[in-house]
Chains A and B, each alone.
Chain A
Amino acid sequence: MSSIIVVVGIVVYIALYFLYGKRLETNVVKANNDIETPASRLYDGVDYVPAKTPVLFGHHFASVAGAAPIIGPVIAMAWGWLPALAWIWFGNIFVGAVHDYLAIMASVRYDGKSIQFVASDLITKRTGKLFYWLVFLILVLIVGAFGAVLGNMFVGDPSVPSSYLLMLVAGLILGVLIYRVKMNFTLATIIGVVMLIAAIFGGIAMPITAPKSVWFAIMFFYIIIAAAIPVNVLLQPRDYLNSWLLYVGLAIGALAALSSGVQFSAPAFTSFAPIVSGGKPSPFWPVIPLIVACGSLSGFHSLVGSGTTSKQLDKESSGLTIGYGGMLFEGFLSTIVVVAVAGYGLGLLVNAGQDISAANWGQQYLAASGAAGISGAGMFTAAYAEMVASTWLRFLPGAFVKTIAGMWVASFAMTTLDTTNRLARYTLAEIALPLKDKSEGAYNFLTNRWIASAIPAALGIYLAWSGTFSILWPSFGAGNQLIASIALLTGTAWVAKRLKTKATMALIPAYLLWITVTAAILWHMFVVVLPAIQSNAVTNTVVFIIEAVMFILNVVFIIDFVKTRNEPAPEASEA
């Protein structure tokens, strides 16, 4: 069954890339290689540099890949593997990939300026400002949600934190070899990969057991300190090792899923509203995009893609491969996750002594996973290891494979955490700009390097420590999907106003997404978070306020969008 699903997934992705993506490229964007891209036209050897398509694909994919495409689908399995897979594929092909492609191409036609700039130009200046607020609020929720993922994982599998710490040491050594010793890069890579393998085995041999609160404290200081260390000492070499984990993990997973042939023990469909968020029955529509964010579509991609990718695109026809194809690649990763959990999740929970079967999967899956200590990322790592062990890849030691999967998730989640303080400082500086003239002291305080880092780190870690993961995760998803909805509507405005072509292929998913995300935020605020305030007042009030602010920003945006939709585009903004 797993092989069939993976093959069908590959065929669907390839077919729709040519049937739908190419149509989008030809009929909507009208990509034209005779039009010079900013990378060529504005070439400066610094920011604007054309890159070959496979190289830029590598940059783009590594930038957009993270832990969320793994964790979201694991949770979405509560609806059954079919709805989870359906949203990953449908959302990927008709919404997420369209969103990423339009963001890159709008940016390309705007001299490499960001989707935020395009929104300011085509909708209102206020729309551009919304991005800062949304990104800052999401940073808090990211630290909360990913902190909780890591906390659960580190407690559930003590070999992962020790492997990760050893990997940090490997990163430090690799940094010295590359930047100080200036060793041959291939040789340094081989040493780095050997150290990575040693770190995994070392972690298995010397697991570190500590309570969750200790890990949260470590994470808090790690987030703050990571930004103070020069990037070439730790972050760059560590991220290089991460990329090996990503590609090796993806390759092993794809091979295993293709050759496993396991029958799915999890049900195809449980019910329309199983228990997913906050212990409440959660309707598939509109909640699903809050759960499966990055595996299907992600708002952050619009910023990442229009921030750096668009400045390096060598020709317009490459945009589809990188933007549309890159997103499909991420969806494929989520497909592997669904296949692994569908095949082995039930067996793992039963073996852990949980009273769960296909019949009560919808009601019990998340509760049983939590009780068994294999929720979220832990479920993925365990199912992934089982899947690999069931194939010809079984010569790889089970504990090794499980820890690779754990490190894969942990290292990407950690990377996400340590980027928050860098981003927070910048977004806070922009948000606090009006204070600069009125109260310079307050402005300087808020934008101080340490304060700006500490605010989202402290708030986020507090949420992770005191909050409920099944409430935090959809809140993060809500913010992410809200940016996606704004970016996609900005893309449709660009198509309609600048390209003056029929924007149906973008407009329908854009409106569908906006309505869905708006309904989902309201549902989450009032059905899940508000009642939960009774049991955990401070934490859930913070989450409620953050979601309320996001909702207000969303309403402000749609009012501006509707008011300006028939206005002509301003002149001379575009290249």
Chain B
Amino acid sequence: MSEHQPNFLIRLWRSLRAFLRGIDQAQRERVVALTAYEARELENMFVLMLLGSFAGMPSPPSFLAVELLPHLEHEIRVLNRRAESSTDALAEIMGTIDADA
């Protein structure tokens, strides 16, 4: 019993410390969450400018688009996924802007 109690208390203390550190990290991340969201939206627009022909938008000079294309693989994947979920944005917006009462 005397061996278990300290272990339990130490485990409890570690869990509590991890929990509080997690809360602290979450708060730090939230300080830039909306800015990050806006930056992501700007990136979306940038990708649309380069690859807008897919969506019927005028393209930039093709040599420029081709030159930039290899750097945009990740963005294109994100763009594709976001295009698929573009009609499902209500919850994401609510989660991002903390729209809760």
| Residues of A in contact with B (beta carbons under 8 Å apart) | 42, 44-47, 52-59, 61-68, 107, 113-117, 131-132, 135, 142, 146, 178-179, 185, 231-232, 235-237, 239-240, 243, 247, 293-294, 298, 300-301, 303-309, 415-416, 419-420, 422-423, 426-427, 430, 476, 480
Residues of chain B with a CB closer than 8 A to A61's CB: 23
- Distance (whole angstroms) from the CB of B31 to the closest CB of chain A: 5
How far apart are A50's CB and chain B's nearest CB, in angstroms?
13
Contact A63 to B22, CB < 8 A, known contacts A231-B34, A426-B89: no
Q: Are B90 and A116 in contact (CB under 8 A)?
A: yes
Q: Which residue numbers of B lie inside 8 Å of A, CB to CB?
A: 18-35, 38, 40, 74, 77-78, 81-82, 85, 88-101
In the complex, the answer to whether B74 meets A185 with C-beta atoms within 8 Å is: no
Residue of A142, A300, A308, A426 contacting most chain B CB atoms (<10 Å): A308
- Cα A480 to Cα B100 in complex, Å, equals 10
Q: For the complex, what is the distance from the CA of A59 to the CA of B21, rounded to whole Å?
A: 12
A-B CB proximity, top 4 nearest: A54-B22, A58-B26, A307-B91, A308-B95
Query: Across the interface, do A298 and B100 meet the contact criterion of CB distance under 8 Å?
Result: yes
How many A-B residue pairs have C-beta atoms within 8 angstroms? Tell me: 159
Taking A47-B78, A65-B100, A476-B101 as known contacts, 18 extra A-B pairs with beta carbons closer than 8 A to each other, sorted by chain A number, are A44-B74, A46-B78, A54-B25, A58-B23, A58-B27, A64-B100, A66-B100, A114-B91, A114-B92, A146-B101, A185-B28, A247-B23, A294-B100, A298-B101, A303-B94, A307-B91, A423-B94, A480-B101
Q: Please indicate which of the listed interface residues A54, A66, A243, A300 has the most CB atoms of chain B within 10 Å of its own CB.
A: A54
Chain A: minimal CB distance from B28 (Å): 6
Contact among B20, B22, B101 for A142, CB-based, below 8 A: B101
Q: Dominant SS at the B interface? A: helix
Query: Can you sample 19 A-B contacts with CB below 8 Å?
Result: A44-B74, A44-B77, A47-B40, A55-B26, A59-B29, A66-B101, A107-B91, A135-B90, A185-B28, A243-B27, A300-B94, A300-B100, A303-B91, A304-B94, A308-B91, A308-B92, A308-B96, A419-B97, A427-B90
A407 CB, min distance to chain B CBs, angstroms? 17
Docked CA distance A235–B81 (Å)? 29
Contact A68 B96 (CB under 8 A): no
Contacts of A57 in B (CB 8 A): 19, 22-23, 26
**Cβ contacts under 8 Å, B38 to chain A:** 231
Least CB separation from A113: chain B residue: B88
Among A54, A114, A179, A294, point to the contact of B23 (Cβ < 8 A).
Answer: A54
Shortest CB–CB separation between residue B17 and chain A, in angstroms?
10
Q: In whole angstroms, how far apart are the Cα atoms of A132 and B93 in the complex?
A: 12
- Cα A42 to Cα B84 in complex, Å, equals 14
Residues in A neighbouring B77, C-beta threshold 8 A: 44
